Amino acid sequence: MASKHETASTARPIDTIAVCPKAELYKGKVERIGLAPHGDGYNFSVHAGDPNITSVTLVKHDPANPDVILETHELSPVDYDNDNFKLYGGYFDGNLRPGDVYSLTVNYEPGHVNKEVFEPYARQVRNYERGVDGKPRFLAVVPPITPIYDRPSNPAVKGRIIYETHIVDQTKQNSDIPEDIRGTYEGFAHPANIKRLLELGVTTVNIMPIHFGVPDPHLWNMDDGKGRLNHWGYNSMGFFAPNPNYAHNKDNPTQEFKDMVDALHSAGIEVILDVVYNHTAEGGQGGPTYGEKALDNDSYYHLESDGSYANHTGCGNTLDASNDITRQMILDSMRYAVEELGVDGFRFDLLLSLLRKKDGEIDRSFLDEIMNDEVLRGCFLTGEPWDLGRPPLPHDFNLSPVQPWSDHFRDTARDFFNWGAGTIGDLADLISAIGQVNFITAHDGFTLRDLVSYLQKKNDENGEKNKDGADNNRSHDHGVDGSTDNPDINKARQRTMGNFALLLLVAEGIPMISHGDEIIHTKHGNNNSYNLSTDRNWLKDPNDLTVDEKNAFNFFKTAIWARESGSIGMRNPVYTWLKYNGENIPEGDSYWDSRDNVLGVYRPGAGNPNEEVSGTLYYVNGSDQDKEVTLPVSIGKDLLAVVETASGRAEIGGLGILTAGQKFTLPAKSSLFLLEVPKSDQGEKQAREDAEQRKIGGVALRSDALGGNFLNPTNRSTPLALAA
């Protein structure tokens, strides 16, 4: 296939340098591609497999003025244990030091334009800037040498609660964090942010992309004249370097990121990286050339038979993970993130595209390689099990290490609670499904609040004439478009939001909360705010929340606590499915096919007197009418109501007691969650101690800081009354 390096691009043409001394020969065997410390200096290597390349030069720039070249060193071919690689490299003793800025020049056969390119394995990057020719350039930086030091152990998480978040959005407006570090790795690591995560009940943060990325070409010059950045970061270019935009210390963003991970680990919180290995910022035909296109276009990318770029991602190109060159870069990036940065797992953007072979068919060998890798096989893995080619199939990820995002859970739940579609059998399937990550909302799409407030997206401020973003949102405005003072509509919206949140947290699958939903953040109908670094994305200051926003936070916090206290997520769960009258629902019963009915599910507890796990009971009334419900006599225990969505009440101390066989009214379109009351004082003591295990800096949070007295005996004698 013809090389693409001669196409129109934003790579900088470089004249052949007349005098270019050769670098010293690479010392020893290549253990790591890229820059690798060796003795008192550095080995350096890069794959450059384009057949038209004649030589590769490392160019050292003046840090104060990168347009000034200080030194050039021609690299020599380097042997490697994989013949598919064509490495160029050299040894640098004294002429490369921490803080030095460098790029690569690839020189081609006559008739092709030589290019300055970005080094794909760069561990640190100088922020993108325009050179004298006005085009973007991205320079690698020799990172500081960090002494070996003890780091906190990775948390042993039990009962994972994932919180999808963004480095900037999470802290940009938090007044408890010093202003100069808000929106940075250091700000994310601040005790005020960590305390907030712990108070909510988060075990795992899924951090949106932090790999160095660049704006999409069309964002440089929008039609409205407002240049924008890719705020979300799904346009990666360097898969090893933390984005310097998120660093307070621009000289060492990698160490700042590692310090953030250590702070989260010390608090018992896992760190999952959102990784975009499916495409690069180079785009498709006619797109910019930053690195991979110039170095080995045919190996890095999926190409069609006519030489154009296969676009399984919707971003112009698709990285070819079936090729040794690309696959090793991805796996090396993952190993670096685990071994050096210290992360616990990965969320793959458009994961299915990483499994595509040259012919477009699906091959799971990439996942098999992860399963057999000494460094990666213990990582938590999740991701989008689709790409633009087709939706996921049930067998795609069976017996794989991946627990994929469930768009089926999202769509079925939205249809049920927003539009009254589906049956209670469909809902039962959502509750019992395992081996997946459940979610109602994510970074792309409506927020939870907007999901119940808008029928159509409102993305004009993105500068793309409202053509971007999904149109099929399964949303409902409950009668009025956008915000309203109508109390009935606001009550209906609150009830629906509560139903979504409670279903997410009582289902067996791993729940993922999108940042801001816990305080009912709104983007005012914008469902694709990827290029807005504004308060459309920034979360509100926790010290400036309204009563409704505080209540929403308490609702989520209580539902998470109840999940952790109960029998949800246990191995080999046992379900008893219940009708409104307390009877079991037999398999094949027509009751399953109804939507206008009540579904109950009881999951018994387990454990011993020293470590009790409460049984749980969840009821949902999907109909438009209030329903009288009878608790099953077979449970034989008192039940403490902790969350109900009819009025949005949630209390860790409990809302009141229901007894076996008792009748109560479950309001229309509402749900209720109950815990079995511990049989002993020891069980109550254990519940309190479990909650106090969430620590910040080694200091246990008081139980009242997490929402009151646990299983308050006063509330045990309070009859439960549900508001219609």
Helix axes 191-200, 547-565, angle to 10 degrees: 60
User: At 677, which CATH number?
Assistant: 2.60.40.1180
Helix axes 547-565, 487-506, angle to 10 degrees: 20
Model confidence at 215, pLDDT cuts 50, 70, 90, reads confident
Q: Is 273 helix (H, G, I), strand (E, B) or coil?
A: strand
Q: Is pLDDT at 692 greater than 80 in this prediction? A: no
Task: Using pLDDT thresholds of 50, 70 and 90, give the confidence band for residue 720.
Answer: low
- pLDDT tens by residue, 292-340: 999 999 999 999 999 999 999 999 999 999 999 999 999 999 999 999 9
Q: Helix or strand or coil: residue 5?
A: coil
Is residue 294 included in any domain, yes or no?
Answer: no
Taking 70 as the threshold, does the pLDDT of residue 18 lie above it? no
Give the C-alpha separation, 120 to 104, whole Å: 10
Distance CA 140, CA 91 (A): 17
Amino acid 636: pLDDT: 84
Confidence of residue 130 (pLDDT cuts 50, 70, 90): confident
Would you say residue 685 has pLDDT above 80?
no
Does the pLDDT of residue 682 top 70, yes or no?
no
Which own/partner contact pairs does 76-84 have at CB distance under 8 Å and 24+ positions apart?
76/22, 76/23, 76/25, 76/26, 78/26, 78/30, 78/45, 79/30, 80/30, 80/45, 81/29, 81/30, 82/324, 82/328, 84/49, 84/299, 84/323, 84/324, 84/325
Is it the case that residue 536 has pLDDT exceeding 60? yes
Q: Of the candidates 141, 175, 196, which is a domain's last residue?
A: 141
Of the three residues 107, 122, 141, the one that is the final residue of a domain is 141
Is the pLDDT at 539 greater than 50? The verdict is yes
| Structure tokens given for 463 | 């500068």
Question: Is the dihedral angle over the CA atoms 583, 585, 590, 591 positive or is it negative?
Answer: positive
Pairing of β 576-578 and β 598-603: antiparallel
Residues involved in catalysis: 349, 384
- CB distance 366 to 321 below 8 Å: yes
Say if CB 243 and CB 212 are below 8 A apart: yes
Q: How far from chain centre, in Å, is Cα 522?
A: 19
CATH of the domain at 52: 2.60.40.10
Instruction: Report the C-alpha gap between 542 and 200 in whole angstroms.
Output: 12
User: Which of 83, 108, 141 is the last residue before a domain boundary?
Assistant: 141
Q: Quick check: 484 pLDDT over 70?
A: yes
Is 647 contained in some domain? yes
- Per-residue pLDDT for 86 more than 50? yes
Question: Which of the residue ranges 8-17, 277-286, 545-554 would you say has the lowest mean pLDDT?
Answer: 8-17
Which is nearest to 237 in space by CA: 315, 181, 164?
Answer: 315
Q: What pLDDT does 389 receive? A: 83
Give, in order, the Cα–Cα distances in Å from 52 to each of 5, 34, 114, 251, 679. 9, 21, 10, 36, 76
Q: What is the pLDDT of residues 599-629, one digit of tens each?
A: 999 999 875 444 568 899 999 999 999 999 9
Query: Would you say residue 708 has pLDDT above 70?
Result: no
**What pLDDT score does 700 carry?**
27
Q: Among 4-13, 217-226, 344-353, which stretch is predicted with the lowest mean pLDDT?
A: 4-13
Nearest to 72 by CA among 85, 88, 56: 56
700 lies in some domain: yes
* Percent of the chain surpassing pLDDT 90: 78
In terms of Cβ atoms closer than 10 Å to its own Cβ (0-12, 13-18, 19+), residue 7 is: middle
The whole-angstrom separation of Cα 352 and Cα 405 is: 12
Q: What is the SS3 assignment for 34-86? A: EEEEECCEEEEEEECCCCCEEEEEEEEEECCEEEEEEEEEECEEECCCCCCCC
Bigger pLDDT: 461 vs 717: 461
Nearest to 428 by CA among 445, 411, 441, 409: 409
3-state secondary structure 472-514: CCCCCCCCCCCCCCCHHHHHHHHHHHHHHHHHHHHCCCEEEEE
Would you state the pLDDT for residue 225? 63
State the pairing for strand pair 598-603/616-621: antiparallel
Give a yes or no: residue 366 inside a domain: no
Token pair belonging to 413: 């739940």
607: in domain = yes
Neighbours of 273 (CB within 10 A): 25
Looking at the structure of the chain, the number of domains it has is 2
Q: What is the pLDDT of residues 360-417, one digit of tens each?
A: 899 999 999 999 999 999 999 999 999 998 887 877 888 789 999 999 999 999 999 9
Torsion of Cα atoms, 61 then 66 then 67 then 73, to 10°: 10
Rg value, the chain, Cα? 28
Query: Is 376 contained in some domain?
Result: no
* 391 residue type, one letter: P
Domain assignment present for 201: no
Is the separation of the CB atoms in 342 and 151 below 8 Å?
yes
pTM: 0.92
* 496 closest CA partner among 514, 476, 523, 480: 476
642, containing H or E segment: strand 639-644
pLDDT tens-digit map of 633-644: 988 889 999 999
Given this model, what pLDDT does residue 323 score?
A: 97
- 107 within some domain: yes
Tell me the residue range of the domain where 613 lies. Answer: 569-716
pLDDT of 11 above 90: no
**Looking at the predicted structure, is the pLDDT value of residue 161 above 70?**
yes
Confidence at residue 570, expressed as pLDDT on a 0 to 100 scale:
83
Q: Are 295 and 185 in contact (CB under 8 A)?
A: no
> Is residue 670 within 8 Å of residue 598, measured between CB atoms?
no
- Give the confidence band of 3 by pLDDT, cuts at 50, 70, 90: very low
How confident is the prediction for the chain on average, in pLDDT? 89
Which has more confidence, 11 or 127? 127
pLDDT tens digits for range 669-678: 999 999 998 6
